[in-house]
Structure 1
Amino acid sequence: SMVGDAPFYFMPVILAYTSSVKFGVDPMVGLTIGLCMVHPTYLSLIDAGEAVRMFGLLPVNLAKYTSTVLPVILVIYVASWVQKLAEKLSPKVIRFFFKPLLTLIIMTPLTFCIVGPLGNLCGKVLEGGLSIVQVNAPWFLPIFFGAFGPIVIMLGMHYAVTIPLALAAIQAFGYDMLGPGFLVANIAQGAAALAVAVLAKDKDFKSLATSTGVSAILGTTEPALYGVNLRLKKPLYASILGGLIGGIICGIAGVKRIVFGPTGLTSIAIFIDPDNGMNFVFALIGVAATFAATFVITYALVRKDRGILKEIGR
């Protein structure tokens, strides 16, 4: 339990590092900002519940950042621009230590007085929206992401949007409904690639489709998506249909992802719900139905396409 909870409790620290790498901020500066957001002294100020003013002037919004996602991402994004400003203002002779120092001096009041609270507000709005969907239409998210998961990945939105959404949902409700959709979407990518592998006669293409198909089933879909399915197009269409079928099953059954993690057979245990044993069973049924449907549809479409058959050496 401690190992599972630790990354969520210190989520700002983890995201501070990954966001720093993404936005080009000095990772040590980013980590320092993330650590400040969960520092025991700051948490004690929240528990005290008394008004706080930085330097006696700037009002501090005592938002709690442990287990949050959006505030630290927004803070590090702003820090990337502040760091560029600090680099311009830092004399070359002392830039090595003055740039990070100036960045931290500027970002500290911005983090606790403006940007952090703004991110916290956005997170609450996001949680409110998720709450409406997960309470009133819990079937929608598995169906949508089951069908359009590969499109979301191609647009790069799985990092920018869906991961923060899933983390926010798990933090707020103890589960998320996006995970089942991505589970069947990943299985569909793998099944489509493996169907192509069965039909392929070209040794190199067969090897590519087999290896990427297995990887997709285990949870990593990009090689299968870009190397096989999108390249041949019809396997991608089949994976969308297969993912839709699996998404409908998971949506109607109300399958939930209990612990955040990549979705595939290697991490299928994240769908085990201590309070509902059938959650895992229906997840497996969704996986089986998705694989079977996608494989059959892909096989049928590819067998009738002379252009694809020629490309795979059949």
Structure 2
Amino acid sequence: MGSNNNKGKKWLKVTGIILLVLLIAGGAYGYTVYNSFRNAVETMHEPVERKTEKREEPVELVEKEPFSVLMLGEDSRRGEKGRTDTIIVLTVNPNTNSVKMLSIPRDTRTEIIGKGFDDKINHAHAFGGVEMAMDTVENFLDIPIDYYMKVNMAGFRDIVDAVGGVTVTNSLDFTYENVHFPVGQLTLNGEDALKYSRMRYDDPNGDFGRNTRQRQIIEQVIKEGASLSSLTNFSDIFQAIGTNVKTNLTFDQMMDIQKNYKTAGSNIQQMEIKGQGTKINRIYYLLVPEDERLRVQNELKAQLELTNTTASK
């Protein structure tokens, strides 16, 4: 899916997920760490002006209510401002101590809310910024989108390197961008982890194989980021996050998450949404059948402890 210029953008999710892990697993590591984190949050705070129709009242983190986060990834270095080729929805439930993570393929065809026509879901941000992206994903999944995190690709390598690299078990021997990845256990730095996650065309499972490798890296980054051994690098981690992440979460809300949802981050469950690739007017789209969309919607609603009363558009 997409052009070679878009390769690897799904890795933007790593920075956002590390941020979430630091919130729910980081705890109070001391005054210096606390201040560094506060400064990073102040740098990245960017509110949005919208009100979801999927909730009668905003989610109350102090009441330990389940909530959702939309992760958007863009790569401003390539001059492609606007399109978010990484679209991840995290739903966090403290009662089941779980996080469900859904990757929405960037070529998914759906209604762009506020425009009134169907297009690739990753175009929503280009048309109307974070607000339109949140509205469009909310409509597609029929769940409230409570918060967002937008991540720039420039932070990816820094995050992986800041946690000391990652170790993965590779099941497919391949070479990508002059780096050989043999079968077996591999220890990767930020640059090689990005390349490991990018390869798609030589994988017999295509995007699904690439998604598996991405999930491997994510899980290991989470493991390393939440470990005590990473504390010596907390300054580098916070600096990379503060520079490359924007979110409407406030510092106080993040502290509420750390206090009330700390055990949920240890149980991250991956979700996939499937569809059929096709071309319409010579443009590639992923068409998601309605029954598949409803299946995903119902699973997310259950995770958020919502009733299935809202109607999909």
TM-score by length of 2: 0.26
Which is helix-richer, 1 or 2? 1
Which is strand-richer, 1 or 2? 2
Whose radius of gyration is greater, 1 or 2?
Answer: 1
Q: Which has the higher contact order (CA 8 A, sep 6+)?
A: 2
TM-score by length of 1: 0.26
